[in-house]
Amino acid sequence: MKIKSILGHLYVQVLIGVTLGVLVGALWPDLGSSLKPLGDGFVKLVKFMIAPIVFCTIVSGITSLTDTKKVGPTLARSLGLFYALTALALAIGLASVMLFQPGAGMHINPAHLDTSVASKYTSQLPSSNPVDFLLGIIPTTFVGAFADGEVLPVLVIALLCGFAFSKLGAPGQLALNVVNSFNRLLFVVFGYLMKVAPIGAFGAMAFTVGKYGAHSIGNLGMLILAFYAACIVFVVVGLGILAKIAGFSLWRILRYFRDEFLIVLATSSSEPVLPRLLFKLERIGCDRGVVGLVVPTGYSFNLTGTAVYLTLASMFIAQACDIQLSWDQILLMLGMMLLTSKGAAGVSGSGFVALVATLTVMPTLPVAGVALIVGIDRFMSEARALTSTVCNIVSCVAVAKWQGELDTETFHAELKAGFVPTEAERVQLAEPALAH
């Protein structure tokens, strides 16, 4: 009975799926490579839920605020924190690549690089024009924003509707009740979808190991090592300091959200866990309005894992091609990355696309240099998504604390006890029933 109870936990099931996926990919590479649709299908299955959940959560959050004037300061403080953390991530990535020197000694001739690899991604590049970016946030139609599935246009609609409901008062209560009921319905549906998370994790890991395998890493292993080291330093040191300043334990946060981290690690995507993050952050005492504003915005503007990757990959290409960059050029490149790390949000393979976008505006570095790392990019995508997810959670708690919208008593009690869902919450989150 105890074993059955343990196996019922989602994180245990995901771990089993990951382990089986690694074994299948290693022992039967062809079979593992053919299982990619399982991982892609799970991410796609969950992704269509994101837009309506973000809309309902933000509308509900804004209407729950006693003072809607707090929305502006909350967003402003969030964006300021996001850009500060992105700058820190870029700096840590730069320090790591300077320390490990993963590309030194490769002596690659840029003329011999395969340009077709980069050209495949140029069609996905977002516009580097800030005006085009801002215009792209404005949805073409009300329904179209949900059909496209992009977070920022849905965020705009949700903010407008949230403020409108706040002004309507009692006459709009019926419609608001419908939104809140629909939100609960979405979470129950999401709970059903999460039951297939272990299958998605199995397929994703089987494909990764079967398609690329350890042999594909070769001399590029040092780049992977440098990247993972930089991500760990950013989380432990950077986010650890932020958590210390805000007055909470980073370790307890990591323990509380372990289920979500395992899903992100297995699927290389942070999107499948967004609804669970919204739910659990509110459960630990963060105000619903703050959670609804900070987390969806962070998914587009707080891609710190991608920021670490950009500096490492760009400097690796420079080292491999024996290109010496001056500090002026490096600082210019870091400034461009503050934009490109945000602009590719929502694009499939956003980290790699952002790298191509960075190199296209840096004439000193060959865009074709991405061919050097395309084979191992998949091994770094897990850490990119995981780092960004941890950062969004810590950022939300910090902003809630600074805004005075964190129930500290509930927060510390929840983190100390760990996540123990109620019977109703078990249905929503696909958790097992309590053992008797």
Give 205's contacts (C-beta < 8 A, 6+ positions apart).
Answer: 17, 18, 21, 22, 25, 39, 266
Q: What is the pLDDT of residue 398?
A: 95
Task: Give the residue with greater pLDDT, 157 vs 394.
Answer: 394
- 267-288 in b/e burial notation, b at 16+ Cβ within 10 A? bbbbbbbbbbbbbbbbbbbbbb
Q: Which of 5-9, 157-161, 416-420 has the lowest mean pLDDT?
A: 5-9
Which pLDDT band holds residue 52 (cuts at 50, 70, 90)? confident
Q: What is the pLDDT of residue 348?
A: 45
pLDDT digits (tens, 9 = 90+) for 85-106: 999 999 999 999 899 888 787 7
Nearest to 160 by CA among 142, 182, 174: 142
pLDDT for res 416: 87
Say which residues have a Cβ less than 8 Å from residue 411's Cβ, sequence separation at least 6: 248, 284, 285, 286, 397
Please tell me the predicted confidence (pLDDT) of residue 374.
66
The whole-angstrom separation of Cα 211 and Cα 30 is: 8
Mean pLDDT calculated for residue range 61-74: 70
Closest-CA residue to 128 (of 306, 354, 310):
354
pTM (2 decimals)? 0.74
Domain edges within the chain:
2-429
Residue in the structure block whose two tokens are 């079967």:
210
∠ CA 104-105-109, nearest 5°, is 100
Q: What is the pLDDT of residues 7-35, one digit of tens each?
A: 666 667 777 887 888 888 888 888 888 88
Instruction: Say what the pLDDT of residue 290 is.
Output: 87
Q: For 200-251, how does the pLDDT look when each residue is reduced to its tens digit (9 = 90+)?
A: 878 877 886 777 665 545 556 788 889 999 999 999 999 999 999 998 999 9
Which range among 81-85, 267-271, 315-319, 368-372 shows the weakest confidence by mean pLDDT? 368-372
**CATH C-level class of 2-429:** mainly alpha
pLDDT, residue 199, reads 85
For the segment 50-65, the average pLDDT, to the nearest whole number, is 75
Q: Greater confidence, 375 or 209? A: 209
Task: Output the furthest CA–CA distance in the chain (Å, rounded).
Answer: 70
**Predicted local distance difference test score (pLDDT) of residue 390:** 95
What is residue 341's predicted lDDT score, i.e. its pLDDT? 64
pLDDT score at 396: 94
* Weakest mean pLDDT among 61-70, 147-156, 227-236: 61-70
CA nearest to 239, candidates 312, 314, 298, 151: 298
How do residues 162-186 score in pLDDT, each as one tens digit?
888 877 777 778 888 888 888 778 8
